[in-house]
Amino acid sequence: MYRDFGTVLVAVILGIVMVAIPLLIQKLIAPSKKSKDKLQTYECGEEAEGSAWLQFNIRFYVIALIFLIFDVEIVFLFPWAVVFKELGLLALIEMGIFLIILIAGLAYVWVKADLDWVKRNVRYGTGRYQDVRMEKTT
Amino acid sequence: MTNLQSLDLFWPELIITVVILTALIVDLCIEKSKSDVVGWVLVIGLLITAIAIWNQDKTTTTLFTDMIVLDPFATFFKLLIILSTLLVAVVSWQNNELDEYRKGEYFTLLGILVLGLFLMASSIDLIMVYISIEVVSIMSFILAGYLKLDTRSNEAGLKYVVYGAFSSGIMLFGLSILFGLTGSTNYFIIQKSLAGLDGSASAALVMALLMILAGFGYKISAVPFHFWTPDVYEGAPTTITAYLSVAPKAAGFAIIIRFFHQVFADGGALADAESLSMTDVPWPEIIGILAVATMTLGNLVAIQQESIKRMLAYSSVAHAGYMMLALPVLSIQTVYAIMVYLVMYLFMNLGAFFVVITVKNKTGGETFDDYRGLGWEMPFIGVVMTLFMLSLTGLPPTAGFIGKFYIFSALISGGSQYYWLAIVGGINSVISLYYYFHVVKVMFLEGERKETLVQPPEVMSGVLLATAIPVFLFGIYWNPVVNWVQNSLIFYVQTM
């Protein structure tokens, strides 16, 4: 078995060498003319603005999570739609249950006011949102 | 069995799923002050689930095309899990730590945890093993950090996530090596191909085994994967600490027993026959050494603890060690002994943690100082706690003694090569006597007598009695437990 892993070792060494050699070559032969523009971070052609090490609003993550769930839902819906005719009623019920579970999740984030960008609609907040109890917006 | 046929035998899990959704939706419709109602949804739902499990066909079969298994062994663990969840849910209403928070999510997450534990107890496929362990882990992370405004609880949650993610990553790596060696994720097919492996693969197999043990050991908090235990147990809400020390541990043992008996052994022990290890990998020795390390470390470190909660955390590490002692012996008696021990352990450990909750509700502390003279101030608590400590030490006439007796007798009947395990276990029990009785000493011999006696609230007294009576009763008349375990010792064994 050590011979088997010998192959892996050879592959690892080869991998390192194959990366190192091109880097070395371009270091040797490429002309190096550094300028301010060249050293800037590439941001899709826009001029770079400030540092990337800044605090993001935590709401981005919540929105991303919610998005992910419904993204997965779509992923499941497409193959289901393709075979729907063959499976018939059973498939409809199954997908119905799946969607109900997801919609319960949607209802949850809605009531907990996670869909609002500015969290104003806190109905029953805990902790530091305790006093922020707002009227239900109609 | 195909997926649709399986649904008929999958009722308990389906009921729990409905309970979880109901709890979630009920929580959305009520105000914070009334969020205890969600607990009622969970309790009633679990009772219905228990009835469904009880009335289930006593068939043994695999479900969902060999993904999970339905057998009396799994059913035993499911009932054990429901029992501990019910006790914990009732106490959660009384736990003052949770008062400032909405409890809706708390009970909902507890429901999801139960579902994960059910799957853990019954999975026979590497992928199901991983998924179920993850479900349990992720829910435990959130529950451990449930007290948002308490930094200790935040720390507990974060530490749990870091350790959990790391160990389950390692376990996944181990599972993938096992899959690479055998070409299947099904226990029975792996077992068959392991027998056909030649000796040159054993180095890889040892690697895989150790890595998988990292994941399993983390769930039952065995040394050297126990580092999360004291901090998480200390920071988490005490009800969750109690729960983590019992239910996931029981399910962890279910998964370990199934895995080692059906993958690394020929499963003969489970059919009450002579059992053989499938490989020349020294896994019984590895587990034996880990067990000794686990209980010795747990006991020795528990001695130095100032906080009762931390002391109980290390004591639960030690108890995992006692149960692991029996794993290296491949016989039906050891499985039997571990199961009996788990039942006894459930009552005594939950009880001890419930006492901690009662005392914390009253005095707001959980160090030895807060227990000074408690026996004279709250006589009921003092007596009950003494009983739990006696039982955790393993002295007769308590449930703990019966549990230990079965473990040690299974070890002795396993043959002379296991005597040393029994001896180390015995020495460890003596060590544990010191710190368990430290609690009793502090409660009764220190501090001043108070004039006024304090009674715990009725619900707490009821729950404490519900754990204390079995601890005492099973120490004298343990036939019901033994019979129940005996009837549950039927495994699904695939014949090919």
Query: Of the given ranges (A122-131, B198-207, B253-262, B357-366), which has the lowest mean pLDDT?
Result: A122-131
Contact status of B450 with chain A (Cβ, < 8 Å): no
Give the Cα-Cα-Cα angle B448, B453, B459 (nearest 5 degrees).
Answer: 130
Q: Which residues of B45-60 are buried (b: 16+ CB within 10 A; e: fewer)?
A: bbebbbeebeebeeeb
Averaged confidence pLDDT in chain B: 90
Distance CA B197, CA B206 (A): 13
Residue A5 to chain B, least CA–CA distance (Å): 10
Report CB contact under 8 Å: B200, A101: no
* Exposure on the CB side of residue B288, measured as CA atoms within 13 A: 16
Residue of B nearest to A106 (CA): B25
Contact status of A132 with chain B (Cβ, < 8 Å): no
Distance CA B278, CA B263 (A): 8
User: What are φ and ψ of residue B421, in 5° steps?
Assistant: -60, -45
Chain B residues near residue A104 by CB distance under 8 angstroms = 21, 24-25
- Determine contact, residues B71/B3, Cβ cutoff 8 Å: no
- CB under 8 Å, gap of 24 or more: what pairs does B20-25 form? B20/B108, B20/B111, B20/B112, B20/B115, B21/A100, B21/A101, B21/A104, B23/B104, B23/B107, B23/B108, B23/B111, B24/A104, B24/A108, B24/B104, B24/B108, B25/A104, B25/A107
Residue of A nearest to B20 (CA): A101
pLDDT digits (tens, 9 = 90+) for A41-60: 777 877 777 777 777 777 88
Query: Of the given ranges (B190-194, B235-239, B420-424), which has the lowest mean pLDDT?
Result: B190-194
Asked if pLDDT for residue B332 goes beyond 90, the answer is no
pLDDT digits (tens, 9 = 90+) for A76-103: 999 999 998 888 898 899 999 999 999 9
Report CB contact under 8 Å: B21, A108: no
pLDDT digits (tens, 9 = 90+) for B368-418: 888 888 888 888 999 999 999 999 999 988 999 999 999 999 999 888 888
Amino acid in position B472? F
Query: How far is CA B105 from each of CA B109, B217, B457, rounded to the nearest angstrom?
Result: 6, 28, 25
User: What are φ and ψ of residue B371, in 5° steps?
Assistant: -95, 0
What pLDDT does A22 receive?
93
Better-predicted residue by pLDDT, A42 or A67: A67
CB pairs under 8 A between A and B: 27
Distance CA B74, CA A5 (A): 40
Spell out the SS3 assignment of chain B: CCHHHHHHHCHHHHHHHHHHHHHHHHHHHCCHHHCCHHHHHHHHHHHHHHHHHHCCCCCCEEECCCCEEECHHHHHHHHHHHHHHHHHHHHHHHCHHHCCCCCHHHHHHHHHHHHHHHHHHHECEHHHHHHHHHHHHHHHHHHHCCCCCCHHHHHHHHHHHHHHHHHHHHHHHHHHHHHHHHCCCEHHHHHHHHHCCCHHHHHHHHHHHHHHHHHHHHHCCCCCCCCHHHHHHHHCCHHHHHHHHHHHHHHHHHHHHHHHHHCCECCHHHHCCCCCECCCCCHHHHHHHHHHHHHHHHHHHHHCCCEHHHHHHHHHHHHHHHHHHCCCCCCHHHHHHHHHHHHHHHHHHHHHHHHHHHHHHHHCCCEHHHHCCHHHHCHHHHHHHHHHHHHHHCCCCCHHHHHHHHHHHHHHHCCHHHHHHHHHHHHHHHHHHHHHHHHHHHHHHCCCCCCCCCCCCHHHHHHHHHHHHHHHHHHHCCHHHHHHHHHHCCCCCCCC
Amino acid in position B385? M
Distance CA B121, CA B140 (A): 17
Helix (H, G, I), strand (E, B) or coil at A22: helix
pLDDT digits (tens, 9 = 90+) for B18-40: 999 999 999 988 887 888 899 99
- A 10 A CB-CB count for B231 gives 19
What pLDDT does A1 receive?
59
What pLDDT does A136 receive?
47
Q: Which residues of B345-364 are buried (b: 16+ CB within 10 A; e: fewer)?
A: bbbbbbbbbbbbbbbbbbbe
Chain A residues near residue B200 by CB distance under 8 angstroms = 1
Asked if pLDDT for residue A138 goes beyond 50, the answer is no
Residue of B nearest to A109 (CA): B28
Query: How far is CA A120 from each of CA A22, A113, B24, rounded to the nearest angstrom?
Result: 56, 8, 22
In chain A, residues 65-94 whose CB comes closer than 8 Å to chain B: 90
Report CB contact under 8 Å: A104, B102: no
Nearest CB to B28 within list A100, A107, A126: A107
Structure tokens at B326: 């029996």
ipTM: 0.78
pLDDT band at A16 (very low <50, low <70, confident <90, very high): very high
Residue of B nearest to A127 (CA): B149
Asked if pLDDT for residue A21 goes beyond 60, the answer is yes
* Residue found by looking up tokens 């419904």 in the block: A70
Chain B residues near residue A107 by CB distance under 8 angstroms = 25, 28
Give the pTM: 0.88
Structure tokens at A132: 């922020």
Residue of A nearest to B33 (CA): A124
- A 10 A CB-CB count for B484 gives 16
Distance CA B305, CA B312 (A): 9
Q: What is the mean pLDDT of residues B103-122?
A: 94
Chain A residues near residue B101 by CB distance under 8 angstroms = 126-127
Contact status of A127 with chain B (Cβ, < 8 Å): yes
Distance CA B244, CA B296 (A): 21
* Residue found by looking up tokens 């220190």 in the block: B446
Report CB contact under 8 Å: A104, B31: no
What pLDDT does B173 receive?
94
Report CB contact under 8 Å: A126, B148: yes
Beta partners for B62? B69
Report CB contact under 8 Å: A126, B31: no
Helix (H, G, I), strand (E, B) or coil at A43: strand
What pLDDT does B223 receive?
86
Report CB contact under 8 Å: B31, A107: no
What pLDDT does A126 receive?
56
Asked if pLDDT for residue B440 goes beyond 50, the answer is yes
Query: Of the given ranges (B19-23, B94-98, B310-314), which has the lowest mean pLDDT?
Result: B94-98
Residue B419 to chain A, least CA–CA distance (Å): 36
Contact status of B303 with chain A (Cβ, < 8 Å): no
What pLDDT does B249 receive?
94
Nearest CB to A124 within list B32, B203, B204: B32
Domain locations in chain B?
Answer: 282-489
Contact status of B207 with chain A (Cβ, < 8 Å): no
Q: Is the dihedral of CA A124, A128, A131, A136 positive or negative?
A: negative
Q: What percent of chain B has pLDDT over 70?
A: 99
Beta partners for B61? B70
Report CB contact under 8 Å: A124, B101: no
Report CB contact under 8 Å: B100, A108: no
Better-predicted residue by pLDDT, B84 or B451: B84
- Determine contact, residues B65/B3, Cβ cutoff 8 Å: yes
Nearest CB to B24 within list A90, A108, A127: A108
What pLDDT does B86 receive?
96
Contacts of A11 (CB under 8 A, 6+ apart): none
pLDDT band at A31 (very low <50, low <70, confident <90, very high): confident
Nearest CB to B204 within list A1, A111, A127: A1
Contact status of B7 with chain A (Cβ, < 8 Å): no
Amino acid in position B35? S
Crossing angle for the helix pair B104-122 and B72-94, nearest 10 degrees?
160
Nearest to B78 by CA among B46, B110, B40, B38: B46
Query: Of the given ranges (A41-50, B257-266, B414-423), which has the lowest mean pLDDT?
Result: A41-50
* Residue found by looking up tokens 């090569």 in the block: B417
Nearest to B316 by CA among B249, B235, B227: B249
Q: Is the dihedral of CA B119, B124, B125, B126 positive or negative?
A: positive
Residue A53 to chain B, least CA–CA distance (Å): 22
Amino acid in position B8? D
First to last CA, chain B: 16
Contact status of B206 with chain A (Cβ, < 8 Å): no
What pLDDT does B404 receive?
94
Report CB contact under 8 Å: A101, B201: no
